[in-house]
Amino acid sequence: MTINELVFFAGFLGFIFAMLVLDLGVFSRKSHVVSFREASAWSVVWILVAIGFYFIVRFYGDTIHGIKNYADLEKTVGLYIDDSEVDELNLSPDNFAKSVDNYRSHIAIEFITGWLLEYSLSVDNIFVIIMIFASFGVREKYFKKVLLWGILGAVVMRFIFIFAGSALIHKFHWILYIFGGLLIFSGIKMFLEKGEEKIEPDKHPVVKFVSRYFRVFPRYFKDYFFIRRKGLLYVTPLFVVVLIIEFTDLLFAVDSVPAVFAVTKDPYIVFFSNIFAIMGLRSMFFFLSNIMHLFHYLKTGLAFLLTFIGTKMLVPHEWLKLIGYKTHYSLYIILAILIISVLASVAFPVKAKKQVVNA
């Protein structure tokens, strides 16, 4: 990690930390039920922040890797941009300023595409989180606190997952083909799933692990994660739910992180897009939880999305170059899949089941 990368990365993490402190210390000091209006407002805030970061990357993206001359630019492009996409940049040592501007535009498109992809895949995560809260009987006013601490852990895990994955990809490029196959498998599996899987609290692996190695208090106690009784420290069921949220995010990262690597090989762009999607996940949870049933084809759309991304990872770069595939085409295809899924849900709503009353 160079000095420029360290400074940019530290500044980004500082901003995220400040936003979390503001949320935790100002807006979430008391546990409360998040209204649809509050959720909508925060969803808009995080979408606007992500779009704002797009413009930062668009006009200052070269500062991430400290590009100061054409040699730096060539080195960065060689490390993080596929050969099939290099021609899009129109690099020229005779016009360094234009070359850098093209590079900024390219990675900005990668960021916004990766963010939209990750944000979309978070919807499936929301389905599971809803089931977790329902299965473990968590009171609605504690949802926000649980999700906040779950997201903090997710940021740390994504950091490790992304930069370790990037190192492996640069050393063993064939890993991308494994990722592609995994995404296609996940997409087909999601498409074939019928209904929702049930969560049995007593049989969950996290519950078994915590029960074996820690003292677990038998019931919820307000919004506490830990409680002391007769000199002994106990974890509460609410803390166990936080750990389950972390475990769930780790499982989803196995699909979502490789998917973003299909868009960009730059670990910083992957990390930035992931974190903005994760930060927006909590507000999107409260925004969508009450209207999720209206978009019943969205999960089908996500299945097609995973399959498309996986297929793109398996197609040789020479073939993409031959058909003239551009980076921004991925953005258009992702948007098209999401829009079609939403429109299909609206056009073909689920019919309410008729209740038969016996006389």
Going by C-alpha positions, the residue among 324, 293, 335, 268 that lies closest to residue 11 is: 268
65-74, 252-261, 317-326 — which one is most confidently predicted on average? Answer: 65-74
- Altogether, the residues listed in the chain come to a count of 359
Which helix (H) or strand (E) is 64 found in, with range?
A: none
| In the predicted structure, residue 340 carries a pLDDT above the cut 90 | yes
* 202: in domain: yes
Q: Is the pTM of this model over 0.75?
A: yes
Contacts of 227 (CB under 8 A, 6+ apart): 217, 221, 233, 234, 236
* 21: in domain: yes
Residue 215, sorted as left (phi over 0), alpha (psi -120 to 50) or beta, turns out to be beta
Percent of the chain whose predicted confidence (pLDDT) is above 70: 92
Q: From the CB of residue 183, how many other CB atoms can be counted at a distance below 10 Å?
A: 27
Q: From the CB of residue 295, how many other CB atoms can be counted at a distance below 10 Å?
A: 17
Return phi, psi of residue 83, to 5°. Answer: -60, -35
Separation CA 266–CA 162 (nearest Å): 10
| In the predicted structure, residue 221 carries a pLDDT above the cut 60 | yes
* 359: in domain: no
Separation CA 337–CA 219 (nearest Å): 43
Asked whether the beta carbons of 67 and 91 are under 8 A apart, the reply is: no
Q: Which tens digits make up the pLDDT trace of 59-79?
A: 999 999 999 999 999 999 998
| Tokens found for residue 198 | 């049930």
Q: What is the pLDDT of residue 356?
A: 44
Separation CA 130–CA 136 (nearest Å): 10
* 334: in domain: no
| Cα dihedral value 236, 237, 242, 243, nearest 10 | 90
Q: What is the pLDDT of residue 30?
A: 67
Range of the domain at 20: 3-170+196-288
| Cα dihedral value 214, 218, 223, 224, nearest 10 | -40
Mean of pLDDT values over 113-128: 85
* 354: in domain: no
Number of domains making up the chain: 1
* 297: in domain: no
How high does pLDDT run on average in the chain? Answer: 84
| Tokens found for residue 321 | 């170059």
Q: What is the pLDDT of residue 194?
A: 66
Asked whether the beta carbons of 290 and 34 are under 8 A apart, the reply is: no
* 137: in domain: yes
- pLDDT band per the 50, 70, 90 thresholds, residue 358: very low
Could you tell me how many helices (H) and strands (E) the chain has, helices first?
13, 2
* 327: in domain: no
